[in-house]
Structure 1
Amino acid sequence: MKRNRPIFREHFVLHKWNYVLGTILLSISLVLQLWVPSLLKQFTDGLQNESIHASRLLELSWWFTIAGIGTFIFRSSGRIYIFRMSRMLERDLRTELFSHWEKLQADYYQNQRIGNLMTHAVNDVNILRQIGMQGYFQMVEAAVLISLAVFMMAGTINLYLTLLVLLPLPGLTFIAYRFRTKIQSHSLKVQEAIGILTSRVQEFCSGISVIKTYVQEKEEIKKFTNENESNVEVNKQLIRSNSLFTSLSQGIVGLSYLLSIVMGSILVMKSTISLGDFVAFNTYLSMLIGPIENIGKVINLLQQGKAADQRIREVLSTEPDIKDEEGTIPLTLVKGDIRIKDLSFNYPRNKDHVLKNINITIPKGTSLAIVGKVGSGKSTLVQLLLRLYNPPKNSIYIDQHDIRKIPLKTLRSSIAYVPQDNFLFSSTIKENIAFDPYPYLDEEVVHAARSAQIYSDIMELPNRFDTELGERGLSLSGGQRQRVSIARALIKPSPIIIFDDSLSAVDSKTETNILNTLRTEMKGRTSIIISHRISTIQEADQIIVLDQGEIVERGTHLSLLKEDGIYKKMYSQQTTELTFIQAKLPSIQERKILIKRRR
C-alpha cells in the first residue's frame, strides 16, 4: 500500500494526545523560565534604588527557587513524554519495516545491497527518531520561548528596542530556504554512501576465506579505501553546508545581541528604560539565542529526515508480488498430490524461458527425482512449488487446487525443503534443527539428527546440541551443514519434502546411510529429489531428465538405462569414475602388507 503522508506525521496523529500533554508540560516549564528575567528586573531596580530589604530579598530568593524547581520538574516531564513517543516510533517503524521485508519475494533481495537494507533499518530510522526527539522538542521550545519572550520584551520593556534587535532575525528564514535543497541532497548522498560501505564490509566478512585463498587482501583494502574516501567526501560536503548555515545563523544572532547591548545602554543612560529593564531585556535575549540557533539545526534535521522518510516509504510502498490473491481457498492442510501442467516460466527480468512445457504428475506418497545439467531449471521448478516465484496460473496443482489459490502459509507449512546453499542461522544446532513454529521435544530433535547422520558429529562438539554456530553456520563443514539442513526438514511433519542437491557434500558411505534412513522417513510423504549423483535417485518412483528447461527423458532407473540418452551417459560416466577410484585404492590385504613392510 502506497504511503502518501510522511511517517512522523502519521505517528504524531496516532499519538497526538501524548504529544499534546508533553507540549503542555514543556510550555509550563518555559513560562516559569521566562519568569526569571522579571524577578531579575525587580532585584536590579531594588539594588539601584536602594529600596530592597532583607524580607524582600528573601521573598525574591523564594520565587527564584520555585521557578528553578518548577522549570526542572515540568521540563523533565515534558521531555520524558516526547522522547518516549519517539522511541515508540523507532520501535514500531523497525518492526513494520522488518515485517514488510518478510512479505517481499526472493527476487527483491537479489536486486538489493544488504548494506542499503541495513541503512534503512538503522540510520534512516534513527534520523526519524531524532526528528521525534530533539527535532520536535526544540521546535516546540523555539516556538513557545521566542513568541513569549518577544511579547515580554516588547510589552514590558521597550517596543522599539525589541523591533530593532529582532530586525536581523528574518535573515535566518532566507538562509534556511537557500540551504534547504543543498542539505537534503547531501544528506541523501551520505545515506547512500553508508549503504555502499556497509555492503562492502558485509561482503568482505562473508568472503574472507576466498579473499585470503586468492591473496586479494591488498585489492580489497584498495576497494574499501576508495569507497571510504567517497563516504568521507560526501560527508565533507554535508559538513560544509551545515557549518556555513550554522555560522551564518550565529552571525545573525550575534548582530542582534550587539544591537541590544549598544542601543540598550543608550536607552539606560537617557533613562528611557531602567537598569533592571536592561538586565531583563538581555536575559530574555540570551534565552532566545539557543532556540534561534536550534531552528537551524531543526531545519537541517528535517531535511535529513525528508530524505530518510522518502527512502523508508519507498520500501514500505513496495508491493509484494507473491501474496495471497483474491479467491484464495481457505485450506489448512494439503495431502501432497502434485500435478504440473504445461508449465513454462521465465524470470521477471529475463525474456528467455527457464522452463518449457513441463508436464509432471506426482501421486501422493510417491517420489520424483530430477537430474540434469547445471542451469537446466531443476531448482527453479522446486522454487515455483514453494511459490518463491509465482508460476503462471493453472500450471501447478496440489490436491487439484491451483497452487496460487492455496494460502501461502498452508502451502509452505506443508513442504519441508532442503535448499542448495544449506543456510544455517547463528544460533544453536538445536534451534536450527527445530526451526519451525511447531514446538519439538528434545527426543524429536535427536531422532532427526540421527536420521540425517549428524548425531555423532554433534556429540563431539563442546556443547553438543547447544553449540552456538557462527554466522551462516560457517563453523561447521559443508557436509555437516547439509546434514543439519536435512535434519531440519525431516523433523517437520509435512506431506511434501524436497531435497535440492542436498547430498553433494557428503561422502558415499554417509550418503548410503542417509538414503537408507530417508526411505523410512519418507514413507507416505510426497518427495522430490534433485541430484547430480545417480546413486542418490535411482530408487525413485519416477525420474525426469531436464535439459535447457525441457523434460527430455522420463521413466524409472531401469527403463532409462535401456535408452541411449543423457541419463545412461551420466550413469556410465559416474560408474566409470567410481570404478577408477576404487581400482586406485589398495585392498585391505594390500594395506596390511604395506603396513608390515613399513614396520
Structure 2
Amino acid sequence: MNKTKQLDSKKTTYLIRRFAPYFKKYKWILLLDLFCAALTTVCELVLPLIVRYITDKGMNDLEALTVEIILSIGGIYLALRLIDVAANYFMANVGHVMGAKIETDMRRDLFSHLQDLSYSYYSNTKIGQLMARITSDLFDITEFAHHCPEEYFIAALKFIVSFVILSSVNPWLTLIIFAIIPIMIYCSMQFNRKMRSAFKRSRNQIGELNSQVEDSLLGIRVVKSFANEEIEEEKFEEGNKGFLNIKKEAYRYMAGFQSTTRLFDGVMYITVVVAGALFMIRGLITPSDLIAYLLYVTMLLTSVRRIVEFTEQFQRGMTGIERFIEVMDEPVEIQDEEGSIPLPQVEGDIRFDQVSFRYSDGDNDVLSDINLHVKAGDHVALVGPSGGGKTTLSNLIPRFYDVTAGRILIDGHDIKKVTIHSLRSQIGVVQQEVYLFSGSIYDNIEYGKPGASREEIINAAKLAGAHDFITELPEGYETYVGERGVKLSGGQKQRISIARVFLKNPPILILDEATSALDNESELLVQQSLEELAKGRTTFTIAHRLTTIRNASVILVLTDQGIVEQGSHEELIEKKGAYYRLYNLYNTAGTNIGD
C-alpha cells in the first residue's frame, strides 16, 4: 500500500470533513437526534434554577412557598423528565440505527472500491490488513457517528446556557470558573494527540496480527508437515506482545488524560467554594446563588467527564475513519476512460502495436516494443523460461494491467477505449493459481455464468472432464469444496475452474498453464476438450508442458529479450533455435520448461 500521512499529521477537521457526507442521507434523523439531545439537556439546566428558587424562597420568604407552588414546580419538572425519557429513547434507538447505517454505507463503499483496485495494489498489500479495515476498523463508526455530534452538541449547549445564566447572577465568579476551562482543554489536548497516534499504531498492529494468523492458518498443512507449530506460536507471540505494548502506551496516555480532568475537577470545585464564599462575605452573592453555582459546576463537570469517557471512542472512530480514507484514496489505476463505449461482440482479432510494459515498482520493462497480430480463431501458445513475460502479456489483454506504451486492439478497438466490463465479459481466463470460492461445486461452476441452468452447468463440467468425478462424490454437485477448495485435489480444482470458462463460452480464451496440475489421464481428457472449445475462438495458451501446444497455430518463444521466435511447432523445430533447445530439454529431462 502506498505510504500515507500518519494520523498525527491529519487534522481532525479534515477527517470529519471527509466523513461528514455520509450524514447527508440521514440529515433529518440527525437533526431530530440533536433536537432530542437539546430536550434531554433542558431538565439538567432547569433543575439548578428550581433548587435556587426554592432555597431563596425558603431563606427569605418562606410563607410565599406554598404547597401549590411546590407541587406545580414538581409537576413541571416531572413533565420535563417524561419528555427527557422519550427523547433519550429516540437517541438510544434511532440514533444508533443511523450510526449502524452509516457504518454499513462506508463498508459497502470500501468493498466496492477494493473491487476496483488493480492487481498491483493487491501485490503490495496484506489481505489481513484489508480485513481489519473493512471489519474491526468500521465497528467503531456506529458509536462515533451517533455519539460524536450528540455529545459535543450537548456539551456546547450546556456550556453556553450555563455561561449566560451564571453571568446574570455574578459575572466575576463566572469568568473565574470559565477561565479555567481553556487551560483544562489545552492540557487534555496534549494527551489527546499522543492517544491518537497510539490508537493508530494499535490498529496497524492488529492488521499485522490478522495477516499473520491468516498466513499461518491457510498454510497449516505446511506448518504441520515441517512440525513448525512452535515457530508459528513464537511468531504470533511476538506480534501479540507488540500489540499489548502499544495498548499499554495508549492506556497510559488515556490515564494521563483522565487524571488531568480529575485534577481540574477539584480545582473548579474549590474555586467555586472559596471564591463563592468570599463573594458571599462581601454580599456579592446569596447562599441560594452559590448553591446554584455548585449545581451548574457539577453539571459542567459531568459533561466534561462524558466527553472524557467518549474520548477513547472518539479516537477509535477517527482512527477508523482515517484508515478508511487511506484505502478510499488509493487511485483506481485500471478504469473506464471518459467516452469509453461497450465492446461489441468480437470475432477475436487481436493486435499488439509496439506494446511495452513495466510494473509500477520496477525499473526495467518486462515487455518491450511487442508487435503481434493474432487472427480471429488462432491458437497462440506462449512458451519460454520463467520471467520472460508470458503471463504478463496475457494479463494485458483483459486489462488486468495497462500497457506502459503502445496499444492493444481487439477487432480494431483499442481496449482502453472500451468499457472494462464489456471487454472482460468476452474473455475467459483459467488462472495459473486455481481459486475456488467457499461453497458448493455447483456454485463455483455457476460463477462463470450467474443464473445458468443446471443443464448448462453439467454440460460445462462434462466438457472440462469434471462430471464423472463430481457425480462420484457423496453430494455430487452440491459437495462443499471447503475454503479455497481444500477438500478437492489439485486436478479436481483445476477441472472445476476450467468448467467455469466452458460455461462462460467467451470468444477469447486465456489458458495460463490450465493443465499443469492434472495427471496424464486427466490432462489428455481436458486437452481434448480445450481443443474442441478453442475451435473458432482466439486462444492464448501459456504452457510449460510443450506436448500440450504442438497443434497451436503459432508458438511464441518469449524471453527477457521479447519474442525471439514465432511459428508453428514444425517450423520452429526446423530452425533449431530457442524453441528447439527448449523442446529437446523437455524431452530429455521430462520436466516442465520454465518451472
The answer to whether the superposition gives a TM-score over 0.5 is yes
SS in 2 for 1:453: coil
Secondary structure at the counterpart of residue 87 of structure 1: helix
1:30: which partner in 2?
A: 41
Deviation at 1:399, TM superposition (A): 0.5
Q: Is the 8 A contact 2:36 2:90 kept in 1?
A: yes
Paired residues for 1:330-345 under 5 Å: 330-345=342-357
Whether 1:149 and 2:165 are equivalent positions in the alignment is no
- Alpha-carbon shift at residue 160 of structure 1 (Å): 5.0
Return the offset for 1:57.
5.1
Cα distance in 2 for partners of 1:349, 1:320 equals 16
Tell me if structure 2 keeps the 8 A contact 1:197–1:228: yes
Q: Distance in 1 between matches of 2:545 and 2:529?
A: 18
Correspondent of 1:401 among 413, 417, 436: 413
Instruction: Give per-residue Cα distances to partners, 1:421-462, cap 9 Å, x unaligned.
Output: 111112222221111464211111111112112223323334
Query: What is the aligned partner in structure 1 of residue 531 from structure 2?
Result: 519
Structure 1 residue 280, shift from structure 2 partner: 4.5
Specify which of 84, 98, 115 is matched with residue 102 of structure 1: 115
Matched, 1:509 2:521: yes
Cα pair distance change 1:264/1:76, threshold 3 Å: farther
Counterpart residue number, 2:454: 442
Matched residue SS, 2:399: coil
Structure 1 residues 8 and 129: alpha-carbon distance in aligned structure 2, compared to 1, 3 A threshold? farther
Query: In 2, distance between residues paired with 1:405 and 1:358?
Result: 20
Distance (Å, rounded) in 2 between the aligned partners of 1:201 and 1:429: 27
Q: Which residue of structure 2 lines up, in the alignment, with residue 533 of structure 1?
A: 545
2:568 alignment partner AA: T
In 2, Cα distance between the equivalents of 1:193 and 1:76? Answer: 37
TM-score in terms of structure 1 length: 0.87
Once the 2 structures are TM-superposed, how far is the Cα of residue 172 of structure 1 from its aligned partner? 1.5
Q: Paired residue for 1:223, among 214, 228, 235?
A: 235
Which has the larger displacement, 165-174 or 397-406?
A: 165-174
Q: Return the alpha-carbon distance in structure 2 between the equivalents of residues 354 and 295 of structure 1.
A: 56
Matched, 1:191 2:191: no
Instruction: Report how far residue 146 of structure 1 moved.
Output: 2.6
* SS of corresponding position for 2:135: helix
Q: Structure 1 residues 378, 326: CA separation in 2 closer, same or farther (over 3 Å shift)?
A: same
- For residue 586 of structure 1, what is the aligned residue in structure 2? none
Cα distance in 1 for partners of 2:490, 2:106 equals 37
Query: Conserved in 2, the CA contact under 8 Å of 1:353 and 1:549?
Result: no
Maintained 8 Å contact 1:394/1:402: no
Equivalent residue for 2:151, pick from 126, 138, 146:
138
1:112 equivalent in structure 2: 125
- Report the more deviating stretch, 370-379 or 264-273: 264-273
Task: Confirm or deny that 1:87 pairs with 2:112.
Answer: no
RMSD: 3.1
Structure 2 match to 1:73: 86
Question: Do the aligned residues in 2 keep the contact of 1:43 with 1:60 (CA within 8 Å)?
Answer: no
Instruction: List per-residue Cα deviations over 1:338-375 (Å, max 9, x = no partner).
Output: 12233333222222232244333322122112222222
Q: Deviations over 1:214-251 (max 9, x none)?
A: 23222222222222222222221111111101111122
In the other structure, the counterpart of 2:426 is: 414
Alignment of 1:61-460 (within 5 A): 61-155=74-168, 159-260=171-272, 280-297=292-309, 302=314, 305-326=317-338, 328-436=340-448, 438-460=450-472
**How much has 1:285 moved relative to structure 2?**
3.0
Q: TM-score, normalised by structure 2?
A: 0.87
Identity in percent:
32
* Structure 2 CA distance for partners of 1:559 and 1:170, relative to 1, 3 Å: closer
**Rounded Cα–Cα distance in structure 2 between residues aligned with 1:271 and 1:457:** 99
Change (3 A) 1:443 1:294: same
Q: Name the SS for the 1:468 alignment partner.
A: coil
Q: Determine helix, strand or coil for the equivalent of 1:168.
A: helix
Q: 2:18 aligns with which of 1, 4, 7?
A: 7
Question: For residue 93 of structure 1, what is the amino acid of its counterpart?
Answer: M
Question: Contact 1:543/1:557 (CA < 8 Å) preserved in 2?
Answer: yes
**Aligned partner letter, 1:144:** L
Task: Evaluate the alpha carbon distance shift between residue 254 and residue 466 of structure 1 in structure 2; reply closer, same or farther with a 3 A threshold.
Answer: farther
Does the 8 Å CA contact 1:154/1:162 hold for their aligned counterparts? yes
Query: Which 5+ residue runs of structure 2 have no aligned equivalent?
Result: 5-9
Listed one character per residue, the Cα deviations across residues 265-318 of structure 1 (whole Å, up to 9, x for unaligned) are: 788899987766555444333322221123345566555555544443332222
Offset of residue 383 of structure 1: 0.6
The offset of 1:168, in angstroms, is 3.2
Matched, 1:473 2:485: yes
For residues 579 and 349 of structure 2, what CA distance do their matches in structure 1 show? Answer: 26
CA contact 1:358–1:551 (8 Å) conserved in 2: yes
Note closer, same or farther for the CA distance 1:178–1:566 as it changes in structure 2 (3 Å cut).
Answer: same
| AA aligned opposite 2:80 | A
- CA displacement at 1:532 relative to structure 2: 1.4
Shift of 1:177: 3.4
Distance 1:547 1:174, change over 3 A: closer
Letter in structure 1 aligned against 2:149: Y
After superposition, the Cα gap between the structure-2 partners of 1:271 and 1:201, relative to the gap in structure 1 and judged at 3 Å, is same
Letter in 2 for 1:19: L
Q: Deviation at 1:188?
A: 2.4
Q: Which whole-Å CA distance do the structure 2 matches of 1:150 and 1:436 have between them? A: 67
SS in 2 for 1:169: helix
Cα deviation, 1:129-152, whole Å, max 9, x if unaligned, reads 443222222111111123223433
Q: Secondary structure at the match of 2:504?
A: coil
**For residues 278 and 463 of structure 1, do their structure 2 counterparts lie closer, same or farther at Cα, with a shift above 3 Å needed?**
farther
Q: Does structure 1 conserve the Cα–Cα contact (< 8 Å) formed by 2:129 and 2:210?
A: yes
Separation of aligned partners in 1, 2:45 and 2:229? 62
User: What amino acid is the match of 2:128?
Assistant: G
- Looking at structure 1, the residues matched to 219 and 189 of structure 2 have their Cα atoms a distance apart, in angstroms, of 46
Q: Which amino acid aligns with 2:464?
A: A
3-state SS, counterpart of residue 511 of structure 2:
strand
Amino acid at match of 2:481: L
Shift of 1:189: 1.9
| Separation in 2, partners of 1:124, 1:571 | 53
**TM-aligned CA deviation for residue 176 of structure 1:** 2.7
In structure 2, C-alpha distance between the alignment counterparts of 1:65 and 1:392, rounded to whole Å? 74
